[in-house]
Structure 1
Amino acid sequence: MKKQFHVVGAIIENEQKEIFCALRGPDMSLAGFWEFPGGKIETGETPEEALVREIKEEFNCEIEVREKVEDTTYEYEDVMVRLETFKAKLIAREPIATEHAEVRWISRDEIRYLNFAPADVPAVEKISKKQ
Structure 2
Amino acid sequence: MKVLCGIIEKDGYVLITQRSASMSQPLLWEFPGGKLEAGETEKACLVREIQEELSINVSPVQRLDPARYTYPDKTIDLIPYTCTYNSGTIRLLEHATYKWVKPVELTAYVWCPADVPIIHTYLQQLQA
Same fold (TM over 0.5): yes
Deviation per CA, 1:13-34, whole angstroms, max 9, x where unpaired? Answer: 111x111000000111111110
Please point out which of 11, 20, 25 is paired with 1:25: 20
Q: By how many angstroms is 1:75 displaced? A: 0.6
Counterpart of 1:8 (choices 4, 20, 30) is 4
Amino acid at match of 2:42: P
Between the aligned partners of 1:114 and 1:128, the Cα distance in structure 2 is 14
Could you say which structure has the higher helix fraction? 2
- 1:94–1:70 CA distance, 2 compared to 1 (3 A): farther
Count of residue pairs brought into register by the alignment: 126
What are the within-5 Å matches in structure 2 for residues 50-65 of structure 1?
50-65=45-60
Percent same amino acid at aligned positions?
A: 32
- 2:69 counterpart of 1:74: yes
SS at the partner of 1:122? helix
SS of aligned partner of 1:13: strand
The equivalent of 1:35 in structure 2 is 30
Note the alpha carbon deviations across 1:33-76, whole angstroms, 9 max, x for none.
10000000111101111000000000001111111122111111
Q: Let me know the Cα RMSD of the aligned residues.
A: 1.1
CA distance in 1, matches of 2:58, 2:105: 23
Does the residue aligned with 1:127 lie in a helix, a strand or coil? helix
SS at match of 1:121: helix
- Mapped to 1, the partners of 2:77 and 2:51 lie a distance apart of 21
What stretches of structure 1 of length at least 5 have no aligned partner? none
Moved over 3 A (4+): none
Tell me which amino acid in the other structure corresponds to 2:109: L
1:128 Cα deviation from its structure 2 partner? 2.9
2:86 is the alignment partner of 1:91: yes
Give secondary structure in 2 for the equivalent of 1:112. Answer: helix
